[in-house]
Amino acid sequence: MLLNAKKSILALALFTAVISCKKNAIDYQNSNIDESKVYQKPITNDQIELVGNLKKITLILEDLYKEKKNIKLVNAAIYAKAYTDESILLKDLINPAQSRLSENKKFLALCSKWNVSLQYFSDAFWKAARIKNDSKLLTFLNFVQAIHAPVQNLSNNQLGVNYQDNSTEVSIYFPYSTEFDISPSGDNYGPVASLVSASAEADEALGLQPYFSGGTLVEYRPVVVNDEYVFTHPTHIVGINGIEPYEIQDAYLNPPTVTSPPNVNRVYVGDAICRAQYDRLISFTGNGGGSEITYCRVSGYLKLTGHQITEFEDKTTVEFGRGTIRKKQWLRVYAVWDADWVVENKEQVFAIYEDDNNAEITFTGSLSTSLKTEIGATVNGSVDYQIKRSSQDDIIKQLKISRVSYFTGAHRNQGWGFGIDKSFLPASASHGWPFYDAVSDGGANVGWTWPYDGY
């Protein structure tokens, strides 16, 4: 036990020394991290180099965050929701001329209110980066800032890299950002921000916590960062989350217009819930942050006989932030699952999976439905399906259901009660549509409602 204690003291001393001199990347391995929450470490040379650069970027932010205006600028970019998942891409912060933020009205309003400047942050970032006199880091940053720049701006590219590659979309992720209210000054929590560099695919890592004395930031101290920590401490995670440009998802903001003509039976994915965190808190592979739950339909209707189905007919991806998942909140989706479930289409599959960019899952089975022959005739038959998708998790749902069963039971309790929302396609005068598989306080990891119109 004494030997272990000495090892822990030595590891902490080494970590503190590295932080103070800032000559090397932080060693996250020599710490008391729960290894069961570390799922994948960098193995290849490219991965090791990437993680090293992420650490160097984190140290630059540590320098910049000594000025509150720089933290405010990054927070403004995240609160502006230019991208999904409470994140902003580094390229948008260090290349103002090509930044999505320059036309984001909410970002511009926050910058004005908080008296911060994107150009100031960019200039300060590049100044701090050049001071380090690290040619490999500068090459990497030049690559990052030029990703997806217009082709005509890349004529002087001498780095020999593909600027249209998504694999190096470095992001700054602020999990549970909505827990920390935006004040008129932007100083609602200091502002302070712990810093974490993605050194692995993990739900726990060693980070840097700001330490203040007399209102002045004195230093950053090592701290174990996990989901519980980031829920109560504002934290910026430098990694690769795999975020996308933000599109409004909540159907309360954009309710669908019901325009079903006569004899059309339109089926929807109504409300959706996710009760478990499928993606990692910290990621360098593009599989971090919230969970992307994808609801799909498999249909063989009027497919050629003898052919196999290899694609979904309809697919709706719902972005669940970590806060939404933690609080087990329902999201209003109301996306079309089948624009018209015709009588001749006897069976379909309701499928759910979590979308990732690594590993693979396969949906397999067969369906009875109306098929087409090569000469154009319609026949009743069976068709197989085999649909592959990228996911590091198991298949969440693969429900084969007949048309008769769906419409007969669509208004009935599925074992989880009914929703209270009656504002869109009300199921009855007294309640909303039945919940499938889960409710907020119990059931499977993922649930949904399954309304229809026009039947």
Across the chain, mean pLDDT equals 86
Q: pLDDT per residue over 61-103, tens digit each?
A: 999 999 989 999 999 999 999 999 999 999 999 999 999 999 9
Least confident segment among 273-282, 283-292, 326-335, 416-425:
416-425
* CA–CA dist 101, 68 (Å, integer): 20
Torsion of CA 72, 75, 77, 78, to 10 degrees: 180
User: Which H or E run includes 425?
Assistant: none
Amino acid at the residue 172: I
Strand locations in 167-234 (E): 171-173, 194-197, 201-202, 204-213, 216-226
Which residues in 91-114 are b (16+ Cβ under 10 Å) and which e? Answer: bbbbbbebbbbeebeebeebbeeb
* CA–CA dist 302, 402 (Å, integer): 16
Q: Is the dihedral of CA 223, 227, 231, 232 positive or negative?
A: negative
Q: pLDDT per residue over 229-256, tens digit each?
A: 999 999 999 999 988 887 654 444 454 5
pLDDT at residue 133 tops 70: yes
CA angle (323 as vertex; 322, 327 as ends), nearest 5: 115
What's the confidence (pLDDT) of residue 59? 97
CB 221 within 8 A of CB 211: yes
Q: pLDDT per residue over 155-208, tens digit each?
A: 333 333 333 444 569 999 999 999 986 766 666 556 789 999 999 999 999 999
Token output for 307? 């052919």
CB 318 within 8 A of CB 272: yes
Top mean pLDDT of 208-212, 289-293, 451-455 is at 289-293
* CA–CA dist 28, 12 (Å, integer): 11
Token output for 23? 């000559």
